[in-house]
A and B are shown apart, each in its own frame.
Chain A
Amino acid sequence: MATTSKQYKAIGEDLWKSRTDKINSELFSLTYGALVVQLIQDYEDYAEVNKQLEKMGYNIGTRLIEDFLARSSLGRCSDFREVGEVAAKVGFKSFLNITPTVTHSGAPPPSARPTSTVQQSGVPGSSFILTLDENPLAEFVELPDEALEGGLWFSNVLCGVLRGALEMVQMQVQVEFLSDVLRGDESTEIRVTLLKYLEEEVPVGDD
């Protein structure tokens, strides 16, 4: 049975409301801001800071997905398009109380085959773009010039979270920021591209 977009929104809303431990958003923003500033002071290289934020996010994501699936009791997504819908409407909503808009795009069509109008959303290469209209991580933040020139993606931890979470459900994805309002762009956009579906592997060392 196909769950509609509205139902996803309702599920997300319910999950957010049923959470009893909520924290003050200012505290959250200040803590994350302090974390990023400290990383910058420690590594002194913005590309490295981006990488570390992504790694931290990855660790968070691998754990977060369990919590998410347990609470939402949603089944396996039928295709990658649905993954995008669920991530935006249920995932982001239940953890950050924001609902980014999703824009899907299928795999680039191979030139030999006749073009079909149906989007192939299960094919590696398909992607979706999440557009965040508000970002609780970056309240009150203004990037200094060095950070702008150095190419810092302030909220890069979100990319890691998405990558980690999806890897735990057998999807290998590439997640990256396309634009960020902190950098002066019009909107904050994250693109998630499916690389491949992971097969179940026997853990190394198990015989």
Chain B
Amino acid sequence: MSHHLFLLSPSDTPIYSLTHYSTKLPQPTSSSLSSNLPTWSTSAFAGTLTALSGASSATQSHHVQGGAVRMGGGQDRHVIQMIANASLDVIEDVMRKESAMYLKSVDKFNEWTVSAFITPGNMKFILLHETKNDDGIRSFFHDVWELYLKTMLNPFHTAHSPIRSIVFDTRVRASAKKYL
């Protein structure tokens, strides 16, 4: 089960992205559901993604420690980014209405849910995930936010430059491991 995190600047330029493979097992209900579905529908699901990405290697290209049944779920990088980009419109809509920072799940695409977090400085943190994990995700977003604040205080960092710091990367990964 994997998560994809994207940090976007106010002008929607990507600042940082991370793919994290969770060692936590996905919820048992979803996997039993998927095993109950007849095989033709699962392959149709995978088929949607294959059709979208145009690549034939949409299924199981990575070894995941979770070990549960994989639906060939969006391993392809292009699909992930397309989902993330598509969700930006939805996020902007919700942004105008709600003043809270953590917007729970703004979009759903097949098995991927998109959660967003908008900072006061209009930075968008987008997380693609498969399972429901509101509290964990909220804590994770807060952690990433604090790490981001520390990076912003570095005088060598400009507002829209990509974050290349190894320290930031390590800490975000550690935080992801803790909460996701």
CA distance A34 to B155 in the complex (A): 6
Contact string against A for B residues 156-169, beta-carbon threshold 8 Å, 1 for contact and 0 otherwise? 10000000110100
The answer to whether B155 touches A30, judged by C-beta atoms less than 8 angstroms apart, is: yes
Contact string against B for A residues 61-80, beta-carbon threshold 8 Å, 1 for contact and 0 otherwise? 00000000000000000000
Within 9-49 of A, Cβ neighbours of B (below 8 Å) are at: 26, 29-30, 33-34, 36-37
Q: Using Cβ atoms and an 8 Å threshold, which residues of chain B touch A147?
A: 156
Q: Is A143 an interface residue when CB atoms closer than 8 A count as contact?
A: yes
The answer to whether B156 touches A37, judged by C-beta atoms less than 8 angstroms apart, is: yes
CA distance A50 to B153 in the complex (A): 22
Q: Which of A29, A139, A143 contacts B156 (CB 8 A)?
A: A143
Q: Using Cβ atoms and an 8 Å threshold, which residues of chain B touch A34?
A: 155
CA distance A201 to B23 in the complex (A): 75
Within 133-156 of B, Cβ neighbours of A (below 8 Å) are at: 150, 153-156
List the count of A-B residue pairs having beta carbons below 8 Å apart. 27
Q: Using Cβ atoms and an 8 Å threshold, which residues of chain B touch A169?
A: none
Q: Is A203 an interface residue when CB atoms closer than 8 A count as contact?
A: no
Q: Nearest Cβ in chain B — how far from A29, in angstroms?
A: 8
Question: Which residue of chain A has its CB nearest to the CB of B164?
Answer: A144
Q: Is A142 an interface residue when CB atoms closer than 8 A count as contact?
A: yes
Q: Chain A: interface secondary structure?
A: helix
Q: Using Cβ atoms and an 8 Å threshold, which residues of chain B touch A140?
A: 150, 153-155
Question: Which residue of chain A has its CB nearest to the CB of B157?
Answer: A142
Q: Nearest Cβ in chain A — how far from B172, in angstroms?
A: 15
CA distance A139 to B149 in the complex (A): 13
The answer to whether A30 touches B153, judged by C-beta atoms less than 8 angstroms apart, is: yes
Q: Is A141 an interface residue when CB atoms closer than 8 A count as contact?
A: yes
Within 119-161 of A, Cβ neighbours of B (below 8 Å) are at: 139-144, 147
Question: Which residue of chain A has its CB nearest to the CB of B165?
Answer: A142
Within 80-113 of A, Cβ neighbours of B (below 8 Å) are at: none
CA distance A50 to B30 in the complex (A): 60
Q: Using Cβ atoms and an 8 Å threshold, which residues of chain A touch B167?
A: 142
Q: Using Cβ atoms and an 8 Å threshold, which residues of chain B touch A29?
A: 153
Question: Which residue of chain A has its CB nearest to the CB of B167?
Answer: A142
Q: Nearest Cβ in chain A — how far from B103, in angstroms?
A: 29
CA distance A147 to B157 in the complex (A): 13
Q: Using Cβ atoms and an 8 Å threshold, which residues of chain A touch B154?
A: 33, 140-142
CA distance A142 to B156 in the complex (A): 7
Question: Which residue of chain B has its CB nearest to the CB of A34?
Answer: B155
Q: Nearest Cβ in chain A — how far from B84, in angstroms?
A: 27
Q: Nearest Cβ in chain B — how far from A140, in angstroms?
A: 4
Q: Using Cβ atoms and an 8 Å threshold, which residues of chain A touch B155?
A: 30, 33-34, 36-37, 140-141
If A33-B154, A33-B156 are given as contacts, then 6 extra A-B residue pairs at C-beta distance below 8 Å, sorted by A number, are A37-B155, A140-B150, A140-B154, A140-B155, A142-B154, A143-B156
Q: Can you pick out 6 interface pairs between chain A and chain B where the beta carbons lie within 8 Å of each other?
A: A26-B153, A33-B154, A33-B155, A140-B155, A141-B154, A142-B167
Residues of A within 8 A of B (CB): 26, 29-30, 33-34, 36-37, 139-144, 147
